[in-house]
Chains A and B, each alone.
Chain A
Amino acid sequence: MTNHWIDIKNSDCILIMGSNAAENHPVSFKYVNLAREAGATLLSVDPRFTRTSAKADFYAPLRSGTDIAFLGGMIKHILDEGLFHEEYVAQYTNAPFLVNKDYRFKDGLFSGYDPEKRAYDKSAWAFQMDENGVPKMDRSLKDRNCVFQLLKKHYKRYDTKTVSKITGTPEDKLEECYRLYAATGQPGKAGTIMYAMGWTQHTVGVQNIRTMAIIQLLLGNMGVAGGGVNALRGESNVQGSTDHCLLWHIWPGYLKIPQASKPTLALYNESATPRSSDPLSANWWQNYPKYSVSLLKSFFGEKATPENDFGYSWLPKVDDGKTYSWLDLFDEMYKGNFKGFFAWGQNPACSGANSGKTRNALGKLDWMVNVNLFDNETGSFWHGPGMNPTMIKTEVFMLPACVSVEKEGSITNSGRWMQWRYQGPKPLGNSRGDGDIILELGHKIKEAYADGGVFPTPILNLKWDYATKGAYDPHKVAKEINGYFLKDVEVKGKTYSKGTLVPSFAFLQADGSTSSGNWLYCNSYTEKGNMAARRSDKDAANGIGLYPEFSWCWPVNRRIIYNRASVDLKGNPWDKKDWVIRWTGSGWEGDVPDGGWPPLKSTDGILNPKSKYPFIMRKHGHGQIFGPGRADGPFPEHYEPLESPVEKNYLNDQMLNPVAPVYGTEADAFASCDPRYPYVGTTYRVSEHWQTGLMTRWQPYLLELQPQVFVEMSEELARLKGIQNGERVKVSSARGSLECTAIVTKRFKPFTIAGATVHQVGIPWHYGWRWPQDTVEESANLLTPSTGDPNTRIPETKAFMVNVTKI
């Protein structure tokens, strides 16, 4: 979230699309209700009428996988009707930037496409530079090569008639939704988006979010209270685990993973550090080497020296152009290229897309360690449905982990709040906290390499001192993440002594004199104490619910990021009532500002050369309507899912996202426009269960509420198939099938797509064969395909094709 949970209450219009917040983020509705009490409008757009829709002022259906068409239509509406926030767009976004004249979009492809590699050469997606190396701009937005004009041209095709033909949303519903949401383009009004996996889990996942980001920039909704782009995270600490580099493509704090082509630290830092020649651009990432070197110092302590590149060469590098995502790992495992696997706090046999492939992949291992609260479908895969235990060589070890309340530590919620939690009861039996397990594992691996090995240096040099009296100490880890001064360091005339905690990332150094396990978290645990453990209910001066002394928030306790876009050029808030920051004449008050520089203009309207543009994390300081960094194009474009019910993309000549990954084993079958699988399928969660159900299916109270996997379908489809409400039916895809209880409901309606009737069904993915035992309730992921977003490789589990048959 650019904003945070409580801030939802400040919104004037809340769009819930790509998520089902009432069901899956129930507490968020406390703030949704507060906003509505104050007069906000709640919009729900979803293939199915959900518990969220039940509370909304407006509901519109759309076919799964057509969000860009829907939102592209909104961009066109905003531009056609002139509803954008003109000053904001012209001054704070890259709408005025002139794009390279070679940039083209034709037949669904952007310039530079290589069909063999299924990849783009992005060199034409660049900005024109002036003689000083600063992007050329036309703040009047009239130049035919400026981003604003290219945006207009790109979305000209997205008229409501065409959009409706694709999404199945009636045209009048599209218009009403556009009108209601675009009203927040008025200065002082704020619209927010609450989205989740309904947007990310597609072959166009990143571009779904990009489309909304463009809308938010056009309407001036970034940086303001009640605005922002807000991802509702699916687990309490997903934000934290992402920040600390759970994913393969980053290091902690969103630093880049090193590539084989960058063998030295200098080359790595050089390639990762953006350069801007614009004196008004803060270009915050210019500090990159301070963060990367401080991270290496945190990894290797005294062993990391300038002479050995701070241990950079000891770390693994990824091959250039190769991806190592979940889909790739299980593809390699399926092909027999892995020996061992730690399934840690996860249940891939049910959670991974194309779970049948995943389960077979587990059988190709020599060993697997399952670290979890209970045995699950992953640990027990070898005696699951369709498996022959005598044919499986994989040796499975179970390490019982304790639950979150039995250990001390922090979680970081969707709103970027790092919240410290104390230990409740002690762990049961032999179960242990993850920290204890990892710490001991590290010691054992170090022991194993003490007498040599293939490449023992990084393991032996790893700093591994996080125990107190032999037990894992979460405070030591939290302090390490914050970072220390490793020498006496003088900053701006003040000396900070060796061994003390760094006050904030502005103090980190690239010479090895500081450490920080994650620069974004530098300021979270300082000499003033554990900031995340704070629990004050005092609000900030603006009274908008920031509660700056309750827990701690990255970066540097800034509760709403890009908040310098919430004010005009002179530092006066667009919204006088729910203001985030404002210029007092000598400084900012309210939230922690995005840098303390003065406003762009003084009160008499003169440009202040000491100021900086508000989007400080972007190289050129402007919000990116044109986004040249993505794998699949600088503007979002509608492509059909890998499996689609239509034979034609009505917006361009490409069916599938031209750079979406496609996997090639026999387990990766797919069937688009295939009469054997005529219905659109999607997956989702319900309030009563969580993820694969590992923690909820074993709870009798929750099983009482939702005892069985079900498939929801319209009354029309049920009639067509002769299916009765409550009857068990079979749902199948090109990859697998499962038995479900039919819920025949008015909440699903058939879509009219290009004149034809298209049915959609949906299945929750909370179930698995392991429990409950007296019935076979299986995972919906047996149906889902192995493809995903080309930027993130998140799987496309929200739109695929199925059949439903009577048993």
Chain B
Amino acid sequence: MSKSFLIDTTVCTGCRACQVACKQWHNLPAEETKNVGSYQNPQDLSFNTYKLVRMNEEEIDGKLQWLFFPEQCRHCFDAPCEAAADYPAAIFTDSATGAVIYTANTKDLWEPSDVIGSCPYNIPRQGNRGDLAKCDMCLDRVQNGLLPACVKVCPTGALNFGDREDILKIADQRLQAAKKRFPQATMLDPDAVRVIYLVAYDPKLYHDYAVASAGALGMTRQMALRKMVRPIKSLGSRLL
């Protein structure tokens, strides 16, 4: 059955256990960082950082708010990156869970920048060897009946994971509850993605890419054209 996340930012305390658990499970190296005048670190997602809690201080209606946004791949339905890659050995959707998976073959993508550019949430990052990386829904854990590492360690119930139907139900309950405190509370792109965010305020205040950038869902005309004339490199490697 298709899986989904609910990320309820109204109860996220920004503890970042999810960020650490993600690195630990995937055995990703720590980045060497500096404090640049903020708790948020690293400053952005990277080839080695799939999950990042973004932190913003905003004055909303005259009151200070500290907004936490645990950012990760949304595992889109009809993922634009998958379409842009058009190369199932590199990017495919796991049929059982709906996880959008990148493999080491992403190094052979014809135009990795198209794949990156196709993402409405600005998620994929390229490594030194040309391959792309991002959140994999902890597919290995999920296939073995475990929760994704980030969800497992979340102390407050901000991160939730399960069968899509159940998650949609919880999301709806949480939204109704949140609206009592936050009249502007809303879910972000719930029909288009498997990682549904519940936010209390204007999503742009959390992160520029909290909601899909305008017109980005689906392929651009340029990408579609290029796909028509693309043949050799990826085809060749695919045959191997």
Contact = CB atoms under 8 A, between A and B. Distances in A.
Q: Do A and B bind each other?
A: yes
A706 B66 contact: no
A749 B76 CA distance: 42
Interface string A609-629: 000000000000000000000
A698 to B, nearest CB: 11
Contacts of A33: 11, 156-157
A30 B157 contact: yes
Contacts of B29: 700
Contact of A22 (B13, B34, B41): B13
A410 B19 CA distance: 30
Contact of B57 (A23, A702, A746): A746
Nearest to B48: A704
Contacts of B177: 37
Interface in A716-756: 724-727, 741-747
Contact of B66 (A54, A707, A741): A54
B24 interface: yes
Contacts of B156: 26, 29-30, 33
Contacts of B15: 22-23, 26, 51, 687
B36 interface: yes
B77 interface: no
Given A30-B155, A741-B37, A687 B68 contact: no
A704 B41 contact: yes
A192 interface: no
A709 to B, nearest CB: 8
Nearest to B53: A705
B36 A701 contact: no
A42 to B, nearest CB: 10
A688 interface: yes
Contacts of A727: 37
Task: Tell me if A's interface is mostly helix, strand, loop or mixed.
Answer: mixed
Contacts of A706: 35, 39, 41
Nearest to A25: B155
Of the four ranges (under 10, 10 to 19, 20 to 34, 35 or more), the interface on chain B belongs to: 35 or more
A53 B68 CA distance: 13
Most buried by A among B16, B23, B67: B16
B181 interface: yes
Contact of B13 (A23, A49, A59, A741): A23
B80 interface: no
Contacts of A52: 13
Interface string B5-29: 0000001011111011001100001
A706 B31 CA distance: 11
A57 interface: yes
Contacts of A55: 11, 13
Contact of B17 (A26, A49, A726, A741): A26
B61 interface: no
A708 interface: yes
A437 interface: no
A514 to B, nearest CB: 42
A758 interface: no
Contacts of A703: 30, 33
Contacts of A700: 29-30
Interface residues of A, number: 40
Contacts of A180: none
Most buried by B among A30, A33, A703, A710: A33
A372 to B, nearest CB: 23
A746 B157 contact: no
Contacts of B20: 701-702, 705
B23 to A, nearest CB: 5
Contact of B33 (A29, A51, A707, A744): A707
Interface in A62-79: none
B61 to A, nearest CB: 14
A506 interface: no
Contact of A725 (B37, B39, B66): B37
Given A51-B13, A687-B15, A741 B30 contact: no
Nearest to A741: B35
Contacts of A49: 64, 66
B30 A704 contact: yes
A716 B157 CA distance: 36
A704 B29 CA distance: 10
Nearest to A37: B177
A745 B38 CA distance: 8
Nearest to A728: B35
A727 B36 CA distance: 8
Contacts of A702: 20
Contact of A707 (B23, B35, B155): B35
Given A29-B155, A33-B157, A747-B57, A701 B30 contact: yes
A724 B67 CA distance: 22
B171 to A, nearest CB: 15
B64 A726 contact: no
Contacts of A745: 57
Contacts of A705: 16, 19-20, 33, 39, 41
A747 B64 CA distance: 8
B14 A688 contact: no
Contact of A708 (B35, B42, B67, B68): B35
19 contacts: A22-B15, A23-B15, A26-B15, A26-B155, A30-B157, A33-B156, A51-B68, A686-B39, A687-B16, A701-B20, A701-B30, A703-B30, A704-B31, A705-B19, A705-B41, A706-B39, A707-B35, A746-B64, A747-B64
Interface of B: 11, 13-17, 19-20, 23-24, 29-39, 41-42, 57, 59, 64-68, 155-157, 177, 181
Closest 9 CB pairs of A and B: A726-B37, A700-B30, A725-B37, A54-B66, A22-B13, A704-B30, A708-B35, A741-B35, A26-B15
Given A705-B41, A724-B37, A727-B37, 12 more contacts: A22-B14, A23-B13, A26-B13, A687-B14, A701-B24, A703-B33, A704-B41, A704-B42, A707-B34, A708-B35, A725-B36, A742-B37
Interface of A: 22-23, 26-27, 29-30, 33, 37, 49, 51-55, 57, 59, 686-688, 700-708, 710, 724-727, 741-747
